[in-house]
Structure 1
Amino acid sequence: MTTNVVRPGLAALSVLGGMFALGLTDNFVPYISERGSLWQFHMVRSVMAIGLLGLIVMIGFGSLRPKRPWAVVGRSLFQAGAMLIYFGCLSIMPIGVVVAGLFTSPLFVVVISVVFQGKRVGPFRWGAVALGFVGALLVIRPDPAALDPVAFLPVFAGLLYAIGAVATRAWCEGETTMTLTAGFFGMLGIFGAIGVFMVPWEGAPTGHAGFVLRGWGPLDAEMLFWFGVQAVGSLIGIGLIFRGYLLGEASQVAVFEYALLVFASFWAWVLWGQTVPMLGLMGMAFIAAAGMIIALRSAPPVPDPVPGTAA
């Protein structure tokens, strides 16, 4: 009888590698946002990513066929919506702030599980939720005298991502990683195509400010190169993360996802000279600590060893 071998060390390295890849490639978005379009970016990158997934399937690895198509579509709506906001925010906000907002998703998962699923949560996880939201406020630092709702968009992305995470568990049991990944990129591609046709092609501001407001941008060799980098980099990052979850316990592996806060901020400093103020760093630490507490406290209880087997 075969058993799944848990390899925590390799799992951690795999997730760290995935976060390193995503932290680097996400920092290339300013090369795209200066002249390109958010909608064009998602449409073209999704075509590239699904094409690569199709090649992987053709050579005999996995399948893209969903068992419950509407469940995959529903889950993909929320996950893709979160990423649409995430990449839009990268053109106008420091990447560390945007990543921190997205990583409030575990806090929302706790709230959703209590309010809508009737689950019971102990004081540690409620304390983590409070700590995480304090951290989000420290990162965003809203000014009551000049409140800008745009500053809260990364947190809204975290909410959508949390709904997608809950939907993944509730609706998509038994679906393959390849299927969910294809559904995610397919939905982003649809969003991108809608934006390309709905958003006017002219009249948008020049530079990064026009990234979301442009329906189409120059599709030259340089832009195609950066789209390709994003497609390959995101597939590598997502693949390594999923591999980590196959090699380790989910609650322990999830802790290492918060390395993205470090990698993204590091590459933002190296490539763009972006720095995070001390309060922002403190807020990121609060968010990461809250997520780790939730991940570890959400772990299923370990069963007692069966007599006659190794503990």
Structure 2
Amino acid sequence: MNSDHPFKGIGLICCAVFLFAGSDALSKYLTQFYPVVMVLWVRYVVHSGLMMTAFVPKSGFSLIKTKRLDLQIIRGICMVSTNLLFISALHFIPLAEGTAIIYIAPLVVTALSWPFLGERVSQAQWIAVWIGFVGVLIIVRPGGVLFTPVALLALGAALSFSLYQLVTRKLSGVDSSTTSNFISGVISSLVTTAILPFYWKMPADLWHGILMVGLGISALASHLFMTRAYDYAQPSTLAPFTYGQLIFAGLIGYLLFGHIPDRYALLGITIICISGLIMAWSQRKNAHKPLLSDPL
């Protein structure tokens, strides 16, 4: 790692979270016309195909060699279940609020890091966890527009993403990030391919087909940007900037879907951002590994 160029890392991480928000918005748009399974299938097939084209000629079969196949399978299943739940939720709820709910995943990981990973959780991190949960409660509040069974899809996605991150941390140092991302993409492709016949629908026109391919390219580019960002800057430096995805989600949600979060949603999103900044400060102080890894 060359951590002497933090501004390069910050620039790359901002590009990554912008593409993550854009991919979610594109998925939300396409699910207005096509089943979620079909949209995700194209995303994963394009993602895996591009990775195979880019890395197999250089790495060969070593790309799929893993020391923990069991964890890789669990990681891949968590990846596809997270996206199925999250994109299904986005079909019904606004982009900014849905993104804010999924961002409680790092807080859940913090709460579970001691029993599952044996890591010490500081007082500041526990404070951040509870502050973040308060933010989610404000967004999904009784009497609010999101207080419906659909919100459970987003919460389920956040829990699945938390397990995904815990398994990712277990695999850290065991397999390379390229191997993990490739295997997860292949598993997700296989799972969605198996159920695709029940949901297949021909694209209405060439434009929709281009958008689906663009979704896969965007998803892959976002992961590559994020991975590259950590070559230039420390995780504790980059962590606060990952929350820029919430800002991008709000802007894209307004521009594409005309949605403006109400004051309670804005308050909840702000509180979640504050909790994330506290977490980042705690990580920087204690030199811990990042809790937010590999967004989907």
In the superposition, the TM-score normalised over structure 1's length comes to 0.83
Q: Residue 11 of structure 1 contacts residue 244 of structure 1 at CA under 8 Å; is this kept in 2? A: yes
2:202 alignment partner, one of 218, 228, 233: 218
Q: Residue 109 of structure 1 contacts residue 166 of structure 1 at CA under 8 Å; is this kept in 2? A: yes
Counterpart in 1 of 2:63?
A: 64
Greater CA radius of gyration, 1 or 2? 1
Query: Match of 1:107, SS?
Result: helix
Q: Where do residues 151-170 of structure 1 align in structure 2 (5 Å cutoff)? A: 151-170=151-170
1:142 positional shift: 3.2
CA RMSD of aligned residues (A): 2.3
Counterpart in 1 of 2:122?
A: 122
Counterpart in 1 of 2:240?
A: 255
> 1:118-177 CA distances to partner (integer Å, 9 max, x unpaired)?
433222111111100010111122339x95232132122112111111111113424222
> 1:210-233 CA distances to partner (integer Å, 9 max, x unpaired)?
xxxxx1222352332111110011
Counterpart in 2 of 1:291?
A: 276
Q: Which amino acid aligns with 1:66?
A: K
Counterpart in 2 of 1:180?
A: 180
Q: Which amino acid aligns with 1:159?
A: L
1:52 positional shift: 0.7
Counterpart in 1 of 2:79?
A: 79
Q: Residue 131 of structure 2 contacts residue 272 of structure 2 at CA under 8 Å; is this kept in 1? A: yes
Counterpart in 2 of 1:113?
A: 113
Structure number having the greater helix percentage: 2
Q: 1:300 to 1:195 in 2, by over 3 A?
A: farther
Q: Which amino acid aligns with 1:21?
A: L
Q: Where do residues 264-303 of structure 1 align in structure 2 (5 Å cutoff)? A: 264-299=249-284, 301=286
Give unmatched runs, 5+ long, in structure 1: 200-214, 303-311
Distance 1:187 1:101 in 2: 25
Q: Which amino acid aligns with 1:60?
A: K
Q: Which amino acid aligns with 1:25?
A: S
1:194 positional shift: 3.4
In the superposition, the TM-score normalised over structure 2's length comes to 0.87
Runs of 4 or more above 6 Å deviation = none
Q: Residue 6 of structure 1 contacts residue 249 of structure 1 at CA under 8 Å; is this kept in 2? A: no
Q: Which amino acid aligns with 1:12?
A: I
Counterpart in 2 of 1:94?
A: 94
1:87 positional shift: 1.4
Q: Which amino acid aligns with 1:97?
A: E
2:134 is the counterpart of 1:134: yes
Q: Which amino acid aligns with 2:202?
A: P
Counterpart in 2 of 1:241?
A: 226
Counterpart in 2 of 1:228?
A: 213
Q: Percent identity?
A: 23
Counterpart in 2 of 1:24?
A: 22
Counterpart in 2 of 1:7?
A: 5
Distance 1:56 1:75 in 2: 22
Distance 2:80 2:239 in 1: 20
Counterpart in 2 of 1:38?
A: 36
Give unmatched runs, 5+ long, in structure 2: 288-296
> 1:268-311 CA distances to partner (integer Å, 9 max, x unpaired)?
11111111011111111111121222233134746xxxxxxxxx
